């Protein structure tokens, strides 16, 4: 590969930047003993990622040079970024990796995998469908003020400039959706309907009359109302942001919803089953895994977990005082009891939030039993914003950054309290916080000796597989047979969450590849779990709008459990769970086949050592 090719890519990237240009001090020099051509390509990759998401990438890099930017989501910019990615991928594939050190070879292999996947998916133009009830500018942009640092006057001025760019981004998204209408690339109606109300929330009369109530104004609340920046921010919200969200709501209501399709399956969309197969491969990271394979795996897991749930029911105060004709009748009656008895629900949002915080504190004290390396970055437990909570999942995790002085956050949904049972809280905390997403992601951010482009990589099968695996680790924390799940209702909640992920394999493939109706998918989840009615409805809508993503959780967990069982069998008494977890996590998120190969080599090395 010629260095001139790298320069050409750099010039193409510079054309995407604003005329003022940006400092690139955050781009690292190639260390001694590493490959300079690879590092030049990776630096261009960082620039490319920055163009697509300056907020997230800036936080990951600890860089503030583009704090005043939002992504250019115009069709022209998206096409330009794809062309650059194709050129960089060609250069990357031309490198001879044989002499690279481990960190460089792994980074190159992962980039080849990720960029290749991105380019294959680009054929299906998902950027033409930028909005669902759980994503889009009506959901994430109003949370922007909570994700950026606000410590100096420049921070506030940069954020104000970002606010001025909000109408541009939303205008580009509306244009993209119109292109989708023209191409026949439309989402199912059920995944879009609530986005009208979400957009209208940001266009409310209250925000127009008093912009300081808007979530966009949050970073300025500590300023004097007469501060010039605060005055201008209120003007921008009232005169630019409120009107553009009203425009978005009117467009969705009058143009977009009428063009949405009534069918729900990806196979029924304009891109057909090929698009769904590509999404399965992307999220599971297991090539060749078919929808039929995943569906059958899900059915087997549902049957296995259901049997375990019945055993746990027998150990509860309910199970010990009831006789039933069949296991199905017993399960249905128990689930009805869980869904309707007040003992399982908080009545105040603050009590639910404090319950999560107390569980997180308990879990933190148990971690050294299973991990000898813990992240230095702290995390918090915060409520999801009220404007998006009712249509949002039960929780999210938002990564933090030591460079930008921002902790990771387990974002808990405090809406609809009669749908948030106490018995699910422990498993959810283990998944979203520690030792789940926060531990894994924060450790990945703290890996030394690697190019920072690795911080931008995430693979659903690994990340969400680890989160689900972490729920089960609660059995190995604390004292007694079931560890932290000493309360049988909490243990049932763990199994209910595992069932939830197993059912995803069935209903996701059922709807997108096998022609299932939405009603059939809802009934399958209702019959086989204790998930609340609201969560079932919201989850099914999520799967319809995000084909394939939900399959990564259980597939990833099963692969991690398979690898652990292999290590335990091979090493016997010499198996060290803390060493195993350290090796599993020390390269950050990686595709499952790469993880399998890496851990097989670790097992073999420890067998030889012993």
Interatomic CA distance for residues 448 and 333, integer angstroms = 53
Which pLDDT band, with edges at 50, 70 and 90, does 287 fall under?
confident
pTM (2 decimals)?
0.90
Average the pLDDT over 59-70 and give the result. Answer: 88
Backbone conformation region of residue 554, classed left if phi is above 0, alpha if psi is from -120 to 50, else beta: alpha
Which pLDDT band, with edges at 50, 70 and 90, does 26 fall under?
confident
Tokens of 323: 């006789």
**pLDDT above 90 for 406:** no
Q: What is the pLDDT of residues 571-583, one digit of tens each?
A: 999 999 999 999 9
Q: What Å distances lie between residue 276 and 3, 129, 280, 281, 525, CA to CA? A: 38, 15, 6, 9, 21
- The answer to whether residues 540 and 518 touch, using CB atoms and an 8 Å cutoff, is yes
Which pLDDT band, with edges at 50, 70 and 90, does 193 fall under?
very high
**pLDDT above 90 for 596:** yes
Interatomic CA distance for residues 219 and 424, integer angstroms = 33
Q: Which pLDDT value is given to residue 389?
A: 77
Q: Coil, helix or strand for 198? A: helix
Q: What is the pLDDT of residues 215-256, one digit of tens each?
A: 999 999 989 999 999 999 999 999 999 999 999 999 999 999
Q: Which pLDDT value is given to residue 23?
A: 46
Helix orientation angle between 75-93 and 36-52, rounded to the nearest 10 degrees:
160
Q: Which pLDDT value is given to residue 245?
A: 98
Which pLDDT band, with edges at 50, 70 and 90, does 386 fall under?
confident
Q: Which pLDDT value is given to residue 15?
A: 45
Q: Which pLDDT value is given to residue 559?
A: 98
Give the residue extent of every domain in the chain.
Answer: 1-123, 131-262, 276-557
Q: How many CA atoms lie within 13 A of 223 on its CB side?
A: 22
Residue 532 or residue 375, greater confidence:
375
Hunting for tokens 């990951």 — which residue is that?
Answer: 60
Which pLDDT band, with edges at 50, 70 and 90, does 321 fall under?
low
Pairing label, strands 379-383, 408-412: parallel
**pLDDT above 90 for 380:** yes
Residue 399 or residue 429, greater confidence:
429
Q: Which pLDDT value is given to residue 18?
A: 41
Which pLDDT band, with edges at 50, 70 and 90, does 58 fall under?
confident
**pLDDT above 50 for 19:** no
Lowest-confidence range among 46-60, 301-315, 479-493? 46-60
| Mean residue pLDDT across the chain | 92
Helix orientation angle between 75-93 and 3-16, rounded to the nearest 10 degrees:
170
Q: What percent of the chain has pLDDT over 90?
A: 82
**pLDDT above 50 for 11:** no
Q: Which pLDDT value is given to residue 3?
A: 46
Lowest-confidence range among 60-64, 102-106, 195-199, 257-261? 60-64
Interatomic CA distance for residues 117 and 111, integer angstroms = 10
Q: Which pLDDT value is given to residue 320?
A: 57
Pairing label, strands 408-412, 395-398: antiparallel
**pLDDT above 90 for 547:** yes
Q: Which pLDDT value is given to residue 390?
A: 78
Interatomic CA distance for residues 588 and 430, integer angstroms = 19
């Amino acid at each position: 590969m010629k260095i001139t090719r790298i320069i050409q890519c750099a010039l193409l990237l510079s054309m995407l930047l604003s005329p003022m240009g940006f400092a690139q001090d955050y781009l690292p020099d190639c260390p001694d003993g590493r490959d300079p051509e690879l590092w030049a390509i990776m630096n261009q990759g960082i620039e490319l990622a920055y163009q697509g998401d300056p907020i997230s990438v800036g936080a990951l890099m600890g860089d503030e040079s583009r704090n005043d930017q939002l992504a250019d989501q115009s069709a022209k910019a998206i096409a330009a970024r794809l062309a650059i990615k194709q050129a960089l991928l060609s250069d990357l594939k031309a490198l001879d990796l044989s002499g690279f050190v481990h960190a460089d070879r792994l980074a190159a292999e992962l980039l080849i995998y990720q960029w290749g996947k991105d380019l294959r998916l680009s054929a299906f133009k998902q950027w033409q469908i930028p909005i669902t009830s759980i994503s889009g500018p009506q959901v994430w942009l109003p949370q922007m003020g909570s994700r950026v640092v606000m410590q100096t006057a420049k921070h506030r001025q940069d954020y104000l400039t970002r606010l001025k760019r909000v109408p541009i981004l939303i205008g580009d998204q509306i244009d993209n959706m119109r292109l989708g209408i023209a191409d026949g690339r439309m989402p199912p109606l059920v995944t879009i309907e609530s986005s009208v109300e979400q957009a209208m929330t940001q266009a409310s009369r209250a925000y127009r009359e008093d912009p300081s109530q808007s979530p966009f104004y949050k970073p300025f609340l500590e300023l004097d109302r007469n501060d010039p920046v605060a005055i201008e921010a209120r003007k921008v919200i009232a005169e630019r942001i409120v009107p553009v969200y009203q425009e978005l709501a009117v467009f969705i209501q009058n143009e977009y919803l009428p063009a949405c399709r009534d069918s729900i399956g990806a196979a029924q969309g304009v891109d057909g089953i090929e698009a769904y197969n590509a999404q399965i491969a992307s999220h599971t990271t297991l090539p060749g895994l078919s929808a039929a394979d995943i569906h059958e795996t899900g059915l087997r897991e549902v049957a296995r977990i259901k049997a375990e749930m019945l055993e746990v029911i027998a150990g509860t105060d309910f199970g010990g005082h009831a006789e039933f004709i069949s296991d199905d009748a017993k399960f249905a009656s128990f689930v009805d009891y869980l869904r309707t008895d007040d003992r399982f629900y908080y009545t105040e949002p603050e009590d639910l939030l404090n319950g999560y915080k107390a569980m997180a504190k308990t879990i933190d004290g148990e971690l050294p039993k299973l991990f000898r390396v813990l992240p230095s970055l702290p995390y918090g437990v915060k409520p999801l914003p009220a404007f998006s909570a009712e249509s949002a999942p039960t929780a999210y995790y938002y990564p933090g950054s030591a460079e930008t002085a921002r902790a990771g956050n387990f974002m808990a949904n405090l809406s609809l309290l009669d749908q948030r049972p106490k018995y699910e809280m422990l498993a959810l905390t283990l998944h979203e916080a520690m030792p789940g997403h926060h531990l894994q992601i924060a450790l990945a951010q703290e890996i030394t000796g690697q190019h920072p482009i690795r911080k931008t990589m995430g693979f659903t099968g690994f990340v969400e597989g680890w989160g689900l695996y972490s729920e089960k680790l609660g059995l190995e924390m604390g004292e007694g047979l079931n560890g932290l799940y000493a309360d049988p209702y909490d243990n049932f909640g763990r199994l209910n969450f595992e069932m939830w992920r197993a059912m995803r394999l069935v209903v996701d493939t059922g709807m997108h590849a096998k022609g299932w109706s939405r009603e059939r998918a809802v009934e399958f989840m209702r019959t086989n779990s204790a998930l609340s009615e609201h969560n079932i409805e919201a989850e099914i809508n999520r799967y319809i709008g995000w084909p394939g993503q939900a399959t990564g959780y259980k597939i990833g967990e099963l692969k991690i459990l398979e690898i652990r069982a292999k290590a335990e069998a091979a090493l016997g008494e010499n198996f060290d769970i803390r060493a195993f977890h350290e090796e599993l996590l020390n390269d950050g998120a990686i595709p499952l086949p790469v993880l399998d190969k890496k851990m097989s080599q670790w097992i073999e090395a420890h067998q030889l050592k012993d």
